[in-house]
Amino acid sequence: MNNRRVRVRFAPSPTGPLHIGGVRTALYNYLFARQHGGDFIVRIEDTDSQRFVPGAEQYIFEALRWCGLRADEGVEQGGPHAPYRQSERREIYLRYALQLVESGYAYYAFDSAQTLNGLRQQAEARGEAFAYNYQVRTQLETSLSLPPSEVQARIDRGDAWVIRFKMPENETVEMDDLIRGHIAANTAALDDKVLYKSADGLPTYHLANIVDDHLMQISHVIRGEEWLPSLPLHYLLYRAFGWADTQPQFAHLPLLLKPQGQGKLSKRDGDKMGFPVFPLRWCPADGAEEARGYREDGYLPEAFVNMLALLGWNPGTEQELFSMDELVAAFSLDRVGKAGARFSPDKARWFNAQYLHRCPGQQLAQALLPMLQGIGVSASPDRAAQAIDLIKERASFVPDLLPLTERMFVPPVSYDQKSADKFWKSDNVSNLRALRAQLEAMPELRATEAEAHVQQWVRDNQLPMGALMNTLRLAVIGVSQGPSIFGICAFIGKEETLRRIDAALSTLGDGRG
Ligand code: GLU
C-alpha cells in the first residue's frame, strides 16, 4: 500500500431498507478504516430521484448505529467535505460533466424517450439488445452528429439533453482489484452511459460517484460485486478527468448467496425460510409490505456483526467469535474470498445464542424488564438479572427470556397436562410431601445447599431423584422441564416454594396409582 491516508466510504442509495449485504459492505469499510487508523465516511447517493424512498436514509443511519459503525465524516457527522448528501452537491457535477464535453470524452445527446424506445423495439425485433454505443452515436441527435450551432441553439431554447460518456470503440482496459487481482475488459461491449441529465439537473451514479470519491480523497473503494461491471467505465472516467494517478484502489466483495448456495440472497428466501434479510424492521411510509429485521427478531448487534464479518472473510484460524476490536485487528482484504458467501440462518442463530449465553444478566435485564411489564410484572433490574442468569443457557434470542423467566415471577395458574399425566402419580406425590417437609425444615433455601441436602436425603431413602425433581418442577413452575429447580426455588424463596407446592397438591390432588 502506498503512503496515502486511508479514507474509505460507504455510499448507499436510499432506495429502500439496507440489505444485510449492504451492512456487510459498511462493516468491511469500517474495519479497514479502523485498522489503518484512517477515516470511515458515509455518503448518501441520492441522485436517482425515481428510486428515492422516504425513510430509507434514516433507516440506513439507524442500522449503522445499531451495529456500532460510527462514521468519522458523513451526512450526520458533517466534516471537511460537507455536504455528504449528493442531492445537496448538485451544482458541483455539471461543471465536471462539461469539462468532459470540452475535452472530447463526452458529448450532448438530445434523443427523446420515444426515439430511444423505438430503437429498443427495433433491436428486440432483430433479437438483439439495444446498446447506445459507438455504432449508433453518430447517427443519432448528438453533438457528434449535429453542427455546433445547432447544438447551442437546442440548449439555448431549453430542449432536454443529457451528457453521455464517449466510450472508446475498441480498447482493452486493464484494471486491478485487491480481491480479484488483474482484470481486463474490452470497451467494444460497453455503452455510452449517461453522466448528467438536464431534465432534473442531476448527475447519474457514475459521474457523481467518481467526482465525489476524487474530491473526498477516497483511497480505497470497497463495495459489492454488482459494481464490478462498472469498473472499466470508472477507470476511464478517472483517466478522462486526469485523475488516474490518485484514483482509489478497488476491492469488490463477493455476493451473499442463498442458503442453498445458488443465486443472490433475497427477501423472498428470508420469507420462505423464516429469517430476516434486513438489519432492522422496515415499515414503508406508503403502507407497502413490512419486512422483519434482526434487531426486532431478538438478535444482539454484536452477534449480528460477528456473523456478517465471517460471510466472505475468513480469519485463517478456527476462531469464530470476535469482538469488534478483535475484528479490527484481524480483518484483511487478502482473506476476503472471490466466491460468493453462502448465508446460513442456522449459523446466524448459533452466533446469537453464543452471545446471549455470554451476555451479563444485568445487560439483558434491560430487555426483559419491559417484556415483564407487558405481562403486568414489575421487577427490579437485579431480580430480572438473577432470573436471567438461571435460564440464559436455554435461550437463543432475547424474546426467549420472557417465557423462560415468566413462571419465576408469576406462580403457575395451570399445570402442563402431559407433565402431569407423566409425573403426578401417587408415589411421586407422597415423596413430594416428604420433600416439602425437608425443605420446610431448612432455615433458608439456598440453591447449592438445598440441592446437596436433598440429594443426600434421596440417597438415604432410596428415592427416584429424576422423577421427584420433575414432580417438584411441575408443582413450582407448572411444567416438568426447565433449568435447575433448586436455582428457581432459591430465587422465589422458601415461603413461595412451599406455597406453590401446596397449591399444586390442592389443585392436582394425590395423583393416580
Ligand atoms: N450508491 C451505490 C450503492 O448504492 C454505491 C456503489 C459504490 O460504492 O460505488 O451501492
Counting Cα atoms < 13 Å in the Cβ hemisphere of 67 gives: 31
Residues 101 and 249 in one domain: yes
Q: How far apart are the first and last CA of the chain?
A: 80
| Ligand 1 cavity residues, CB under 6 Å | 11-13, 45, 205, 209, 221, 223, 227
Boundary residue ending a domain (197, 231, 253): 253
Q: Is 333 exposed, middle or buried (0-12, 13-18, 19+ CB in 10 A)?
A: middle
Tell whether 100 is covered by a domain: yes
Grade residue 398 by pLDDT with cuts at 50, 70 and 90: very high
Residue 84 in any domain: the answer is no
Question: Span 287-292, mean pLDDT?
Answer: 89
Strand partners, 184: 174
Taking only the tens place, the pLDDT of each residue in 187-229 is 999 999 999 999 999 999 999 999 999 999 999 999 999 999 9
Q: Are residues 402 and 441 in the same domain?
A: no
* SS3 readout for 157-189: CCCCCEEEECCCCCCEEEEEECCCEEEEEEHHH
Within a domain: residue 80? no
* 105 & 196 share domain: yes
Q: Are residues 295 and 207 in the same domain?
A: no
Cβ(316)–Cβ(235) under 8 Å? no
- CA gap 95, 103 in Å, rounded: 12
Cα 16 to Cα 291: distance, rounded to the nearest angstrom: 11
Residue 104 and residue 60 share a domain: no
pLDDT reading at 392 higher than 90: yes
* Residues 401 and 415 reside in one and the same domain: no
CB 240 within 8 A of CB 206: no
Reading the block at residue 417, the C-alpha cell is 397436562
The CATH number covering residue 38 comes to 3.40.50.620
Domain identity same for 208 and 309: no
422: buried, middle or exposed (CB in 10 Å: 19+, 13-18, 0-12)?
middle
Return the closest-CA partner of residue 108 out of 152, 76, 67. 152
Last residue of one domain, picked from the residues 253, 285, 319: 253
**Cβ 354 vs Cβ 303: under 8 Å:** yes
In this structure, the answer to whether residues 239 and 103 fall within a common structural domain is yes
Q: Are residues 352 and 494 in the same domain?
A: no
CB environment 7-25: b (16+ within 10 A), e (fewer): bbbbbbbbebbbbbbbbbb
pLDDT at site 289: 86
The Cα–Cα gap between 167 and 185 comes to 13
Average pLDDT over residues 256-284: 94
User: What per-residue confidence (pLDDT) applies to 3?
Assistant: 79
Give 124 Cα–ligand 1 centroid separation in angstroms: 30
Gap between the Cα atoms of 253 and 255, Å rounded: 7
- Residue in 84, 218, 227 to alter for ligand 1 test, most ligand atoms within 8 A of Cβ: 227
User: What pLDDT, on a 0 to 100 scale, did the predictor assign at position 130?
Assistant: 93
Taking the centre of ligand 1 as the mean of its atom positions, its distance from the CA of residue 223, in whole angstroms, is 7
How far apart (Å, rounded) are the C-alpha atoms in residues 99 and 246?
A: 18
Our count of domains for the chain comes to 4
Ligand 1 probe mutation, 32, 41, 45, most atoms within 8 A of CB: 45
Does 2 have pLDDT greater than 70? no
Residue 105 is part of a domain; what is its CATH number? 3.90.800.10
Closest C-alpha to 29, from 56, 7, 61, 13: 7
| Candidate list 193, 258, 264, 267, residue with the active-site label | 267
pLDDT for residue 288: 83
Q: Do 100 and 212 belong to one domain? A: yes
Going by C-alpha positions, the residue among 63, 70, 68 that lies closest to residue 278 is 63
- Find out whether 372 and 403 touch, Cβ atoms under 8 Å: no
Q: How, if at all, do strands 172-177 and 181-186 pair?
A: antiparallel
Domain limit, last residue, from 410, 444, 477: 410
Tell me how far apart the alpha carbons of residues 80 and 217 are, in angstroms, rounded to a whole number.
11
In a domain, 217, yes or no: yes
CA of 213 from ligand 1 middle (Å) equals 11
Mean pLDDT of 89-111: 97
Structure-block grid coordinates of residue 152: 447551442
Q: What does the pLDDT look like over 97-107, one tens digit per residue?
A: 999 999 999 99
The answer to whether residues 296 and 189 belong to one domain is no
For residue range 451-504, list pLDDT tens digits in order.
Answer: 999 999 999 999 999 999 999 999 999 999 999 999 999 999 999 999 999 999
In angstroms, rounded to a whole number, what is the distance separating the alpha carbons of residues 197 and 364? Answer: 52
Rounded Cα distance between 386 and 392, Å, is 10
293/235 Cα distance (integer angstroms): 37
> What distance in angstroms lies between residue 47's CA and the mean position of ligand 1's atoms?
12
Q: In terms of domains, do 107 and 58 share one?
A: no
Task: Report the percent of the chain where pLDDT is more than 70.
Answer: 100
Q: Is the pLDDT of residue 1 over 50?
A: no
CA distance 253 to 55: 27
401 close to 392: Cβ distance less than 8 angstroms: yes
314-318 mean pLDDT: 97
- The protein residue with its alpha carbon nearest to ligand 1, atom 5, reads 11
Spatial CB neighbours of 52, under 8 Å, sequence gap ≥ 6: 14, 15, 46
How do strand 39-42 and strand 256-257 relate by DSSP bridges? unpaired
Cα separation of 254 and 180, whole Å? Answer: 10
**8 Å CB contact between 196 and 204:** yes
Q: Is residue 81 part of a domain?
A: no
pLDDT tens-digit readout, 336-372: 999 999 999 999 999 999 999 999 999 999 999 999 9
Q: Which residues pair with 278 in a beta bridge?
A: 293
Cell numbers at 53, concatenated: 424512498
Are residues 420 and 474 in contact, defined by beta-carbon separation less than 8 angstroms? yes
Ranges of H-type helices in 126-241: 148-156, 205-215, 231-241
CATH number at residue 425: 1.10.10.350
Other beta carbons within 10 Å of 265: 22
What pLDDT score does 321 carry?
98
CB atoms within 10 A of CB 374: 9
Asked if the structure places residue 284 within a domain, the reply is yes
Sheet of strand 39-42, all strands in order from the earlier edge strand to the far edge: 73-74, 39-42, 7-10, 220-224, 249-253, 172-177, 181-186
Return mean pLDDT, the chain: 96
Q: Which structural domain, as residue segments, surrounds residue 482?
A: 411-513
pLDDT band at 45 (very low <50, low <70, confident <90, very high): very high
Q: By the 8 A CB rule, do 277 and 269 touch?
A: yes
Q: What is the pLDDT of residues 153-189, one digit of tens each?
A: 999 999 999 999 999 999 999 999 999 999 999 999 9
- Does 181 map to a domain? yes
Neighbouring CB atoms inside 10 A of 328's CB total: 16
Closest ligand 1 atom to the C-alpha of 230? 9
Catalytic, 418? Answer: no
Sequence letter at residue 482:
G
Q: What is the largest CA-CA distance in the chain?
A: 110
In a domain, 436, yes or no: yes
The answer to whether 206 and 233 have CB atoms below 8 angstroms apart is yes
For residue 318, is pLDDT > 90?
Answer: yes
